[in-house]
Structure 1
Amino acid sequence: MSAPIEALLRPPVEQSAIATHLALALLGVGAPQVLLLPGGVGYGLAAACSLRALWLSRRMTRLLRYQRRLRVLPSYRIHPKKLRASQGELFLGRGFLWDARHTQRYADTQRSEHSHFDRRGLLYSSVRATVDGVSTTPLKPLMTPLNSQWLLNPFPPRSYVEGSPELHGVGLFEKEQDVTLQQAERVAHTFVVGTTRVGKTRLLEVIASQDIRGGDVVIVFDPKGDGDLLARLYTEARRAGRAGEFQVFHLGFTEQSVAYNPVGSFSRVTEVASRIAGQLPNEGNSAAFREFAWRYVNVLAKVLDVLGEPINYQVLLECSTDIDALVVRYLACVARQHQFQDWSEQLADLVASEAKMPVQYKGRDRTAWASVELFRRNGFNDPTATSLIKTFEHDKSHFDKLVASLYPLLEKLTSGPVAQLLSPESSPEDTRERLSWKRVIERGGIVYVGLDALSDPDVASAVGNAMFADLTSVAGSLYKDAQRGAPLKKVCVHADEFNELVGREFIPLANKAGGAGFQLTVYTQTLSDIVARFDNPARAGQVVGNLGTIIMLRVKEKATAELLTTRLKDVEINHLMLDSGSTDSADPTTDVHFTSSTRQRISSQRVPMLHAGDLDALPKGHAFALIAGRLYKLRLPLFSDDAELPSGLQAMVEAMRRDYQHSYTASTDWATPTPLGWQS
């Protein structure tokens, strides 16, 4: 039966027992007569005492190593080739299953009598300052022993990773194990949350690298731009023999990017209007204008679809600013469908006639008015034409006010180099590769999506949401194919800085795409970022409620931390209490003038397995993971290899590191060696 108190923070009292046993062993071998033992018995005594000393030494070493690691954690760097997970599992890092023992141990480290474990004395500070000073001189090799984590080094370096290393150290009394997530659990989607500069993107690298090696379709959204992430994805694709499947879409590097039409692929034409109107304000009075803009874009999209013309942002902007020309083209198309032979001649006669245009057509093109008149005279029945005519007949000045919020959005999406990237059909001479999610999934592709959100967040959000809507449409098509017996491919979607991307289009993707083989892993900083994005806590709850596995790095917001802590049960921990007292005697006839007593007793109490404040104390690169109802404490590996990139991609990565310096630093400075030596 184990003791209720482990006492892992006690002094190493085994020292005296080890010394005594070693002394007895020496006497048993060298001078057994001192112990009045014959020689043979002396050797036996020496062997027994030596074994006992070894056992005590092992126990003391384990205790000292545990106490050392409460302050200084061992480093954790691996080469990506050494990423090994069992079949059907996803490797996340090294760690342990957190239970009541660890809550007890961590509570013990917070008690005031054990504060000396984290105290840095004057001697330690002086030695470390000397070592750091010598590290820039030719005497640096001599300082190697003092820069190591060797147990006999009394002055080990402590890295600047912030946080409380005790949160991981309490599990190092036993051995760490690989923490893995069953691949079958990933269809429930994964939520990775942590404040900036704590390792979310590095975890993305670990997971995406394994997805690439597994032959899965991998789609990575990177709104802000991380050069190291792009380099890692390409390196792993090349290492897996899949470099030919790798594509880059980046709004900030249009020359190196593939082209993509966010509204060119759809199952139903109404999706075009939803993808565009979804980016418009939807609060208060803006909701009515948004609905009108949706109807307007939907009419344009239906007309273009019937005409067989490309649908993209550039064409939609041209049509919305010159709807008269669209009316002329479409009504002529309707006449051809009805096999009306003299349409052009009658139209020319009506335009040249002296007939006056009605007042409601003031400011409109005369040819467009004549087309509408001919359409009505001949009694053609076409619902799409009727909707287009109603839009055309609307008072132009009032109409422009109703769609005032639509024009700025379309102009942003069709300005500068981005125009050719997002409306490739408008530039037939542009021969760059076109991105199609259906083709990507069919051929098992790998796609990096850089949205340049730091330069233009509105365009980044619009394109990102349109991509999510496009993926949802593709997922619906794949699900229908699967119902008919077609094989499904696993599609791993990683959305970094998820709060920059999330919109209403994401909810159906999270709800229903699992049946089409989609596995979503989203990364964000706080729950409030998602709430603010929707301006609706209930809708934000819909998003988070669809994310089954939670991996939480350091977070500072209490509401975010409680996403994890409120799902954990309470546990019982023990406290060793010292009671002492004395009682005076008032009886003059007795020889006992006072009595005293001292005793120890163990009390217990129920506490949460983890407090919200503990999440704010996590070191950089460390996380808690709630997997299938079980809580794991893990630390993330750092990759130790260098990326090998082709010249064009290398230049792009270097430009990203330069142009997005704060984003790059945010994702890597926790892993940069300090003068004291980096430790995870």
Structure 2
Amino acid sequence: MTNPSYVLEPLLRPKVEYQSAAVAAACGILALCAPWALMLPPRLGYAAGTIALGFAAVRFQQARNIGKYQYGLKHYKITYTKLHRIARSKDMLYLGEGFLWTQKHTQRKLDANRPEADPFVNLSRKRLLLDQAMRRYERWVLSTGGGRSSPSMFQKVATLTKSDVPWNPVRPLIDLGGSRVLHGVEPNEKPVLLRQGARTGHVLVKGTTRVGKTRLLELLATQDIHDCYVVIIIDPKGDAELMMRVYAEASRARRLDHLYLFHLGYPDFSARYNGIGNFARITEIATRTTNGLPSSGNSAAFKEFSWRFTNLVAQAQVALGQVPTYNGILRNITDIEPLFIAYAKLSLDRAEKDGRIHGWENVVDNCATEISKRKIPVPRSLQDRQPILAATIIVARRFQQQIEDPILDGLSTAVSYEKSFFEKIIASLGPFLEKLTTGAIGKLISPDYFNMEDPRPIFDWMQVIRQGGIVYAGLDALSDPVIAGAVGNSMLADLVSIGGKIYKHGIDPDRTDGRILLPQICGHFDEVESILGDEFIPMVNRMGGAGMRVTAYTQTVSDLQAKLKDSAKAKQLLGNFNHVITLRSKDLDSAKFIADQVPKVEVATLTLVSGVTDKAAEGDGIDFISNNQDRVATKEVPLIDAADIMQLPTGQAFALLEGNRLYKLRIPLADPADDMHIPASLKAVCEDMRSRYRTSEQWWKENDWFADVDVTLPIATPIFVPTELDAQMAQGQETVEPEVDMPVLASLRDVGTTGAAGTTASGEALDGADGDQT
């Protein structure tokens, strides 16, 4: 573009190379066509003409490079692409288009911000006025002629003027906010890639709302799905486009059989999940159950009481062969007596079988008879209880040393409390569990394992990991943040527990060769502060060794500190992310988090000095001396500063990757496309999600992601209403396009279709290529 020997790059100036190129081209043509006009013999004229044309080509290219650079400073750039068509590699992860930010780009940024560079950095006033006039004309045409059956000449002209094509000189200007200069300082961008092996160091994505975090999540998750990794996506708010994207890409990758859609806002549509049914240590059940309780001030003591009783109940349930569920915990916390009687029988039978006690049933029966006749004194707290219960407690305490069962001791103590006192110390636990178990959500997160009539599958993390599955979990946090936080927190705790097992034994502990087989798990956690807890720290600290690759998305560093309620823990958490991608941030501390990690570089500054010295009085014949200087000095500045991060355009980011290599990123967007094969029932769910709340960064045209794919494949989760389409498919008739209102697909587990092939398993098109457009 410029001579590297220049101290300063002369890029912000008129493109004078065009003039010399034109003169050289004219001379070259003249020398080739009429060498006699230049008084040259033919052979010498041909040689001179060739040299002149070569010189003209070089100067033209130099001018074009400068024009390309200045155009990039004046205009935003958006690339639309079909995400599943992105060139993928099992060794590399595509993050977007961009470049490695170096001292050269810092120099160019400072040069572009100088006042004299304004004509070459900002659009002219004429271009802005022309754009306003054309947009006003288009609105006028829309308001006056939109209802006509056939388009008028004005409408045709308006269609042409608003078309976003390179040959349109008045195409609409794109405004993504922020500064165009930050990405315009490098006209030659390339794909930015991250090694898959480096992802076990985990990735943190920061950015304020509506700047592109969810779109980046779609880009990364799409690649993970097509690379056949285990993909876990937890979306606290529930983004309709993200859920549709996951479904569409799973369909394209032929992985619908192992796709689980879990959404608290749509229980009838969702798979089921028991957050406390799987554990490595029994105490994890109580921890996950009580994590959602308040723990500040006086509430901390009540939380500890609740944890203790929940732990006792969980241990007794597991010993009795029951699968712990929220419903079961609530039932036994509310009425602990049946659980105590069942467990006491189990424990006393076991002690009798071991020969430590004999005839305990007769002792209990005799004791109950004596109590009913009021011949044996009982504590006041047990006087209103059944004689058999009081007798069992007395016998359990009498044989306490022989039985040696701490669970029975704890249960007997809990049962012995007065009911009013017991209800007070677990006052916060009961209402919390009722929130989790009330209505359809209760059956979703506290599933009935013995209900064979419920077609919704129940999944757990080990099952998903061994299947190589995909999970999308929408927690509907806008409707009930308490339940969303509790479920999300239990999911993470469950995942950490499973990670510990995998780290020690692998996913197949019974291998004959003794090798530990580790999976490749890609976890994407949007709005991670909503589900954050102490268990998330060991997930990013240690689970990389179990094959876990965490990508966490948040808005600010302060959100993490507020959730953990400890700045030291927040720093500990942030210190475990080796790669940081930051989009636009409005929080100064969040902007400094990445700006303070980059080195300082030296940049050149140009100072113009001019002056005049009067020497007429000296009598040496010199009246004055003029002095004009261009002084170039250097100064040290940060590679980027916090202000640069705070004025990033929407969809652009800075990324610190693999040892503080600073990259400037531009995230590509999914190519808009229509698809009539989308199940109407799934589409209705997504439309309802859009109407209830808006969470995604809708800074471009709304898209329908289901391009070139038949998504009527069977999956493991949704339950739909049967329609005419099912009958046609079952009878082998040709499929017709469904009506917009027509609910599509009954239980997708029962539909015996195996799918339409818009793409191959590798994502190649079977019916023609679809190119990307910029």
TM-score tier (shorter):
over 0.9
Is the Cα–Cα contact under 8 Å of residues 262 and 422 in structure 1 kept in the other structure? yes
How do 1:121-140 residues align onto structure 2 when only pairs under 5 Å count? 121-135=124-138, 136=142, 138-139=153-154
Question: What secondary structure, in the 3-state scheme, does the structure 1 residue paired with 2:612 have?
Answer: strand
Which residue, out of 685, 688, 698, partners 1:652?
Answer: 685
Amino acid paired to 1:618 = L
Which residue, out of 630, 633, 636, partners 2:664?
Answer: 633
Q: Cα 1:222–1:350, aligned 2, differ >3 Å: closer, same or farther?
A: farther
Partner of 2:372: 352
Q: Does 2:178 match 1:163? A: yes
Moved more, 17-26 or 202-211: 17-26
Distance 2:156 2:99 in 1: 36
Partner of 2:440: 417
Q: Give the CA deviation at 1:58.
A: 1.1
Partner of 1:14: 17
Amino acid paired to 1:547 = F
Q: Cα 1:508–1:570, aligned 2, differ >3 Å: closer, same or farther?
A: same
Q: Cα 1:610–1:418, aligned 2, differ >3 Å: closer, same or farther?
A: same
Distance 1:101 1:152 in 2: 32
Which residue, out of 393, 409, 418, partners 2:416?
Answer: 393
Which residue, out of 531, 534, 551, partners 2:564?
Answer: 534
Moved more, 571-580 or 73-82: 73-82
Question: What secondary structure, in the 3-state scheme, does the structure 1 residue paired with 2:439 have?
Answer: coil
Q: Cα 1:321–1:604, aligned 2, differ >3 Å: closer, same or farther?
A: same
Q: Give the CA deviation at 1:281.
A: 2.3
Which residue, out of 612, 632, 643, partners 1:582?
Answer: 612
Q: Give the CA deviation at 1:505.
A: 1.6
Amino acid paired to 2:194 = L
Q: Does 2:369 match 1:342? A: no
Distance 1:5 1:631 in 2: 23
Q: Cα 1:646–1:189, aligned 2, differ >3 Å: closer, same or farther?
A: same
How do 1:497-512 residues align onto structure 2 when only pairs under 5 Å count? 497-512=527-542
Amino acid paired to 1:585 = K
1:384-441 deviations in Å (ceiling 9; x for gaps):
1111122223344344333222222111111121111111138735442111111111
Question: What secondary structure, in the 3-state scheme, does the structure 2 residue paired with 1:241 have?
Answer: coil
Q: Which runs of 5 or more structure 1 residues have no equivalent in the other structure? A: 674-678
Distance 1:294 1:23 in 2: 89
Q: Cα 1:123–1:672, aligned 2, differ >3 Å: closer, same or farther?
A: farther
Moved more, 620-629 or 462-471: 620-629
Distance 1:147 1:476 in 2: 57
Higher relative contact order (CA 8 A, sep 6+): 1
Q: TM-score normalized by structure 2?
A: 0.82
Distance 2:271 2:153 in 1: 51
Q: Which runs of 5 or more structure 2 residues have no equivalent in the other structure? A: 143-151, 353-359, 704-772
Question: What secondary structure, in the 3-state scheme, does the structure 2 residue paired with 1:572 have?
Answer: strand
How do 1:109-124 residues align onto structure 2 when only pairs under 5 Å count? 109-124=112-127
Amino acid paired to 1:85 = R
Amino acid paired to 2:685 = M
Q: Cα 1:48–1:299, aligned 2, differ >3 Å: closer, same or farther?
A: same
Question: What secondary structure, in the 3-state scheme, does the structure 2 residue paired with 1:206 have?
Answer: helix
Which residue, out of 180, 200, 206, partners 2:213?
Answer: 200
Q: Does 2:207 match 1:189? A: no
Q: Give the CA deviation at 1:603.
A: 0.8
How do 1:274-289 residues align onto structure 2 when only pairs under 5 Å count? 274-289=287-302
Q: Give the CA deviation at 1:148.
A: 7.0
1:99-146 deviations in Å (ceiling 9; x for gaps):
000111111111111123454444223322343345456446556886
Amino acid paired to 2:380 = V
Q: TM-score normalized by structure 1?
A: 0.93
Is the Cα–Cα contact under 8 Å of residues 367 and 391 in structure 2 kept in the other structure? yes
Is the Cα–Cα contact under 8 Å of residues 249 and 259 in structure 1 kept in the other structure? yes
Q: Identity of counterpart residues, as a percentage?
A: 39
Amino acid paired to 1:391 = A
How do 1:485-500 residues align onto structure 2 when only pairs under 5 Å count? 485-500=515-530
Q: Does 2:460 match 1:447? A: no
Q: Does 2:329 match 1:316? A: yes
Question: What secondary structure, in the 3-state scheme, does the structure 1 residue paired with 2:249 have?
Answer: helix
Which residue, out of 270, 273, 282, partners 1:257?
Answer: 270
Amino acid paired to 1:372 = I
Q: Does 2:309 match 1:296? A: yes
Distance 1:294 1:82 in 2: 50
Question: What secondary structure, in the 3-state scheme, does the structure 2 residue paired with 1:417 have?
Answer: helix
Distance 1:432 1:148 in 2: 47
Distance 1:672 1:647 in 2: 17
Q: Cα 1:246–1:151, aligned 2, differ >3 Å: closer, same or farther?
A: closer
Q: Give the CA deviation at 1:530.
A: 0.7
Partner of 2:738: none
Distance 2:448 2:244 in 1: 30
Amino acid paired to 1:342 = N
Amino acid paired to 2:83 = P
Is the Cα–Cα contact under 8 Å of residues 350 and 370 in structure 1 kept in the other structure? no
Is the Cα–Cα contact under 8 Å of residues 361 and 369 in structure 1 kept in the other structure? yes
Q: Give the CA deviation at 1:350.
A: 4.4
Q: Give the CA deviation at 1:149.
A: 7.5
Distance 2:697 2:288 in 1: 31
Which residue, out of 455, 479, 483, partners 1:459?
Answer: 483
Q: Does 2:416 match 1:383? A: no
Which residue, out of 236, 245, 263, partners 1:232?
Answer: 245
Q: Cα 1:399–1:519, aligned 2, differ >3 Å: closer, same or farther?
A: same
Partner of 2:552: 522
Q: Give the CA deviation at 1:467.
A: 0.6
Is the Cα–Cα contact under 8 Å of residues 72 and 156 in structure 1 kept in the other structure? no
Question: What secondary structure, in the 3-state scheme, does the structure 2 residue paired with 1:425 have?
Answer: coil
Is the Cα–Cα contact under 8 Å of residues 584 and 649 in structure 2 kept in the other structure? yes
Partner of 2:230: 217
Q: Give the CA deviation at 1:29.
A: 4.2
Moved more, 207-216 or 139-148: 139-148
Partner of 1:59: 62
Moved more, 611-620 or 7-16: 7-16
Distance 1:144 1:323 in 2: 72
Partner of 2:724: none
Is the Cα–Cα contact under 8 Å of residues 70 and 121 in structure 2 kept in the other structure? no
Question: What secondary structure, in the 3-state scheme, does the structure 2 residue paired with 1:485 have?
Answer: coil
Q: Cα 1:34–1:520, aligned 2, differ >3 Å: closer, same or farther?
A: same
Partner of 2:769: none
Distance 1:212 1:4 in 2: 48
Q: Does 2:451 match 1:406? A: no
Question: What secondary structure, in the 3-state scheme, does the structure 1 residue paired with 2:458 have?
Answer: coil
Is the helix fraction higher in 1 or 2? 1
Distance 1:335 1:105 in 2: 81
